[in-house]
Amino acid sequence: MQTRILGKDLRVSAVGLGCMGFSHAYGAPTEEKETIRLLRCAVEMGYTFFDTAEVYGTPEEPHVNERLVGEALAPYREKVVLSTKFGLRFDLASGKIPYPLLPDSRPATIRKSVEGSLRRLRTDHIDLYFQHRIDPQVPAEEVAGVMADLIREGKITHWGISEADEAYLRRAHAVCPVTAVQNRYSMMARQYETLFPTLEALGVGLVAFSPMANGFLTAQYSDPAQFDRRNDYRAAMPQFTREAMERNQQLLELLRATAERKRATPAQISLAWMLCKKPWIVPIPGTRRQERMQENAGAADVTLTPDEVAALDAALGRVPMSAVFGVERPADAQQEAGQRSL
């Protein structure tokens, strides 16, 4: 697979693998041996960038995703870039299942988190350590100071911020240079395009999570009843209602038509669209199927010209589009069922 540079010098595969879905939020967890097999298959396909977090897990084992990623990739450690996250903790005292997540980026908490992640990932350093969500109680400068200390100590080599805004990013970057932000970005969620000039000015990359709008832009879904309401968050996401699926037909037809012209799939077009926008954007789609991993990797080989990207942008501004999880639009009035912390 082609590679890209995040920040100053972090080389990663042009498409990364978001690992959350193996353990959390997209139905019953994948069996552990199958998870390990699939992660190792991804390496053989050319993936070198793997994203997880300390809070991706199950009620029985809240940190299981990091453990599985660490076990699967230990034989390939020198070939891969491991990304994980701190800054959210489980509210174990609430009595609720799944455990609610609370922002917590106090220095002592970060110190505890990094040691746990290093142990579970079976590594002596984390390649890219993201603040999972901004903690309004801890200044950006204080968080960045801890990151600078961890870099000096060799426990991490690069750091980033997830769901970053410009003001917080600039304050943090001034203390310890930020390698990447990890923000929600897709054809249906473009609010962070306003951040692009700042990212270019600072030399910060964008790791795009949910790059296919939680799978909607694969054009593979037609029946909202297929999602298990007990453990599949898509059952409550606004883009997967029957009404939304009808409203989004022009969007899906745009994808299908473009895919046919480029001899690609809708999923590949949704990824190629952002890959061809900026050389410092790296999407991290998640999947639990080997054939989808291969399909997503192939998006890096789909070339859209600047004119084709501009035409898609213009069309996206015209076609009807439903509400989408993770984006607040004035007309949405959607409640996101406490899932915003993902």
Q: What is the spatial distance between Cα 329 and Cα 308, in angstroms, rounded to a whole number?
A: 27
Residue 103 burial (CB count, 10 A): 18
Q: What is the dihedral of CA 44, 48, 53, 54, to 10 degrees?
A: 70
Angle (CA) 315 319 325, round 5°: 110
The closest alpha carbon to 128, from 156, 86, 93, 169, belongs to: 156
The residue count for the chain: 342
Angle (CA) 311 313 319, round 5°: 100
Angle (CA) 274 161 7, round 5°: 60
Strands (E), 43-123: 49-51, 81-86, 88-90, 101-103
Which sequence positions are flagged as catalytic?
56
